[in-house]
């Protein structure tokens, strides 16, 4: 069988093809695609088989800080429908927004570093904009059957954005990796660093596995990173996130509206806000669903929360805002099984008053989001900030939360006092914790 080898021309706008008896005889060898399978748990839906690729496009970086965007885009077009885009050089620069939502049966091998330019004014104008929470993207992947791997780095150069936020707190910052409308694929053996905003935004997608991803964020001055969520899932189904390390300053994983049939397993999270369902119910007139979520064998260090469920209360009459609560929907069948916490603020935080600091108003206008069939099982570790309180489960009225269960919870505090839990409007008989 002959392999088709396609090299990007200097301008990145045309290609030529060279046929080889074997790809290795005239081109660099490529690492094999990792075998990525959900383990030990899956969401119960089949993962589509990705066939082998039959052509390769090698992207050669211009170097000297020049923009490689067009070459990468041209390679994606040339090797679409059954090929591999190989980025093997030490460093690539992306200075233009890349819409890669046309992909069909294509792999990307990233061995070097992909770095986004620091031209804030350009990205404010050109990034892909989405209504939900003001999300915007440097680049976006979509289509069907896409695998991205190779051991390389994707660098968002977030520091310039965090510095700008000192004088502009509403700056619309790009998310590092956008996955928009992708059906079937894997993201594995990758390192992501310093996103201006979230690391991942996964929307309108299904049948994806994220495996062996390392994500780190670190400021080099006194201006900290902002909103560095690891994965934010939105209107997506049948997703597995596993075997990864995240050091950030916001949610490790966030299940946004209409996240269904998701497994998160074998994660190590440091500095985060927990593995969070929500926030949900933020938008008046919207229906949010999060169901069939299974979180297994995770560790949480120096975090504000371990397990977290956060939904907005009802809208306050007379408010002109349509994004301050009042949305309807349900959180159902969510299990946190096996979490080890080290120096977290709360081991478990469940709230139906998210975004509302006035407890009286929250009780007067309770959440229209129902939370039911939730299990917290096998938690160990330490909680220190609110010693002796180690967790909180607060619903806005007794009927809004049903069948909330906590078993085998062993969280201690530095003082050595009996661990206490704040429990409001929940059935305490199903909670094997010390509610006060």
List, as one string, the DSSP characters of 87-154.
E-SSEEEE-S-EEEEEEEEEEEEE-SEEEE---HHHHHHHSEE-SGGG-EESEEEEEEEEEEESS-EE
Q: Which residues are annotated as catalytic?
A: 250, 273
Q: Which residues, in sequence order, are CB contacts of 405 under 8 Å at separation 6+?
A: 374, 375, 376, 377, 430, 431
From the number of C-beta atoms within 10 Å of its C-beta (0-12, 13-18, 19+), residue 177 rates as: buried
CA dist., res. 195 & res. 226, Å (int): 9
| Coil vs helix vs strand at 23 | helix
Q: Which residues, in sequence order, are CB contacts of 10 under 8 Å at separation 6+?
A: none
Token pair 């700008």 is at which residue?
164
If you ran DSSP here, which 8-state letter would residue 34 be given? Answer: P
From the number of C-beta atoms within 10 Å of its C-beta (0-12, 13-18, 19+), residue 16 rates as: exposed
CA dist., res. 163 & res. 135, Å (int): 19
């Amino acid at each position: 069988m002959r392999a088709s080898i396609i090299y990007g021309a200097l301008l990145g706008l045309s290609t030529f093809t060279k046929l080889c008896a074997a790809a290795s005889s005239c081109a660099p060898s490529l690492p094999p695609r990792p075998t990525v399978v959900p383990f030990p748990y899956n969401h119960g839906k089949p993962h589509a088989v990705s066939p082998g690729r039959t052509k390769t496009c090698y992207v050669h970086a211009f170097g000297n800080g020049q923009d490689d965007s067009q070459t990468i885009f041209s390679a994606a077009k040339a090797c679409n429908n059954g090929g591999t885009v190989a980025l093997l050089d030490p460093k690539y620069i992306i200075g233009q927004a890349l819409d890669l939502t046309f992909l069909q049966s294509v792999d990307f091998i990233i061995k070097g570093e992909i770095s986004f330019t620091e031209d804030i004014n350009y990205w404010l104008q050109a990034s892909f904009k989405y209504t939900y929470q003001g999300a915007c993207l440097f680049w976006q992947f979509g289509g069907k059957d896409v695998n991205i791997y190779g051991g390389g780095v994707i660098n968002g150069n977030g520091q310039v954005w965090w510095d700008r936020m000192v004088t502009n707190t509403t700056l619309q910052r790009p998310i590092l990796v956008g996955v928009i409308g992708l059906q079937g694929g894997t993201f594995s053996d990758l390192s992501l660093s310093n996103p201006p905003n979230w690391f991942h935004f996964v929307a309108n997608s299904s049948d994806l596995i994220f495996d062996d991803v390392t994500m780190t964020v670190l400021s080099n001055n006194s201006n900290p990173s902002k909103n560095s969520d690891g994965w934010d899932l939105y209107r997506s189904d049948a997703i597995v996130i596993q075997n990864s390390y995240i050091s950030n300053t916001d949610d490790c994983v966030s299940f946004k509206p209409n996240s269904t049939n998701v497994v998160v397993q074998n994660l190590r999270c440091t500095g985060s806000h927990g593995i969070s369902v929500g926030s949900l119910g933020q938008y008046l007139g919207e229906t949010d669903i999060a169901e069939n979520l299974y979180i297994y064998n995770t560790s949480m260090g120096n975090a504000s929360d371990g397990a977290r469920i956060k939904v907005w209360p009802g809208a306050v009459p007379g408010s002109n805002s349509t994004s301050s609560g009042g949305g309807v929907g349900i959180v159902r069948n969510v299990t946190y099984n096996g979490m080890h916490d080290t120096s977290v603020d709360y081991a478990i935080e469940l709230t139906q008053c998210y975004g509302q600091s006035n407890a009286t108003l929250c009780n007067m206008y309770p959440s229209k989001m129902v939370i039911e069939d939730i299990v917290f099982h096998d938690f160990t570790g330490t909680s220190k900030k609110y010693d002796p309180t180690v967790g909180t489960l607060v619903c806005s009225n007794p009927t809004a939360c049903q069948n909330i269960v906590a078993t085998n919870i062993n969280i201690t505090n530095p003082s050595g006092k009996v661990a206490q839990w704040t429990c409001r409007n929940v059935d305490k008989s199903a909670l094997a914790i010390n509610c006060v």
